[in-house]
Structure formats: C-alpha cells, structure tokens
Amino acid sequence: MAKPLPALFDKNKIVAENRRARYDYFVEDRFEAGIALQGTEVKSLRIGEGSIAESYAAVEGDEIFLINSSIPQYGAGSWMNHEPRRRRKLLLKAREIARLNGAITRQGLTVVPLSIYFNSAGKAKVELALARGKKVHDKRATIKERDWKREQGRLLRNNG
C-alpha cells in the first residue's frame, strides 16, 4: 500500500516570514530547502530571532545561497558566535537548482524566501518562491482588491 502524501510543507514553528514578498512579487512556484547553519545560528532561530525581509537567493555555479538574511548573534554564545549577515548555503537537489537557474536566466524570475521555519523533525527549512516582480499598477490592483475584500467582510458582518 502506498504511503499517503505529506502536507505541502510541514511548518511546525515559523521563525521569520517575508510578508512583503507577496506584495512585491507574483509567486509562481514554491520550494522547500534546508539551510546549512552553524550551532549558534540554530540556537538564535530556536528562540525566534531572525529576519529575511530584504533577502534573496542566488545561484552560483551548482550551488544556491541565501543572501542578506539576518540571524542575530546568540546572546549566550562566546567566541564561537557567527556573523549575522553571512551568506548561507541552501540545500536543494541538483535538479531543483538547475530548474531554478533556468527560470532565472531564461524567464527573468527571482528566487525570494517566504519563510524560515522548523519542521516536525526539528530541522530548519526555508520556503523559497520562484517569483515575478510586480509593476506599480499591479501593486495598486492588489491594494484595491484587499480593501474591497475587507469592506465586503464589514458589510456582511453589519448587515447579517
């Protein structure tokens, strides 16, 4: 008998979320990647510190790196502490990296991290999105649609 398929991504504890990414980009495809972290980085993430607000992923050769993400130094760390804004290697299969590289070079897409989280096995993961940038008029349409949905909710709530 076949094993049942798991949920899309098993997000047990979300550490950092890039909410701005859904406003600035059209998300076309999503990937889950592991992160190569040092010990004090894991400890910082476990206590809920970290930011991916202005970060992105870049393919260099046959590897992919998370650039400009911030994981603050662990308070109880000693001389073994890490650099807060270092480049972190993302762990993906070669076929997935080739697919991302092809989409970046041929279609002009961007790889943006959506969230950093711990799965049920306790491993730190990054949810990556293959995304296309929005123009100003697209952003205005998004704001207009969001305001209309909010107004609809108010009208339904008040008028029953």
Distance CA 28, CA 13 (A): 24
DSSP state of 117: E
Please list, in sequence order, all residues whose beta carbon lies within 8 angstroms of the beta carbon of residue 52, skipping any fewer than 6 positions away: 16, 17, 18, 66, 69, 70, 113, 115, 116, 126
The predicted pLDDT at position 76 comes to: 76
Please list, in sequence order, all residues whose beta carbon lies within 8 angstroms of the beta carbon of residue 92, skipping any fewer than 6 positions away: 31, 33, 34, 64, 100
Tens of pLDDT, residue by residue over 11-67, are 778 888 988 888 888 888 888 999 998 888 888 888 888 888 889 898 988 899 999
Tens of pLDDT, residue by residue over 102-152, are 888 888 888 999 999 998 888 889 999 998 888 888 889 988 999 999 999
Amino acid at 151: E
Nearest Cα to Cα of residue 15 among 47, 42, 48, 37: 48
* Sequence spans of domains, the chain: 13-134
Distance CA 60, CA 92 (A): 13
Q: Report whether pLDDT(78) > 80.
A: no
Q: What count of other Cβ atoms lies within 10 Å of the Cβ of residue 128?
A: 24
- Write out the DSSP string of 129-143: EEEEEPPHHHHHHHH
Per the CATH hierarchy, to which homologous superfamily does domain 13-134 belong?
Small protein B (2.40.280.10)
Q: Positive or negative, the Cα torsion across 129, 109, 84, 39?
A: positive
- For residue 96, with 0-12 CB atoms within 10 Å meaning exposed, 13-18 middle and 19 or more buried, which class applies? middle
